[in-house]
Amino acid sequence: MQDRFDALSSRIAEAYAGVPVQEGQAEIDAAVAAERKRC
């Protein structure tokens, strides 16, 4: 399970490598908020 989490974390880090921190954090925060509303 840890290997799968690490692989996913690496893919996310690579996808956001060129994105400014504030922009990436805002996108992540929006996704989390949307998911929390869904539950």
What distance in Å separates the CA atoms of residue 5 and residue 27, rounded to the nearest whole number? 20
Chain-centre distance for alpha carbon 14:
11
pLDDT recorded at residue 14: 95
Tell me the domain boundaries of the chain: 2-38
pLDDT recorded at residue 39: 83
| Residue bearing tokens 């954090």 | 25
What distance in Å separates the CA atoms of residue 34 and residue 4, rounded to the nearest whole number? 24
Instruction: Give 1's pLDDT tier (boundaries 50, 70, 90).
Output: very high
pTM (predicted TM-score): 0.59
What distance in Å separates the CA atoms of residue 24 and residue 26, rounded to the nearest whole number? 5
- pLDDT tens column, 4-38: 999 999 998 999 899 999 998 999 999 999 999 99
Q: Which residues contact 19 (CB under 8 A, 6 or more apart)?
A: 27
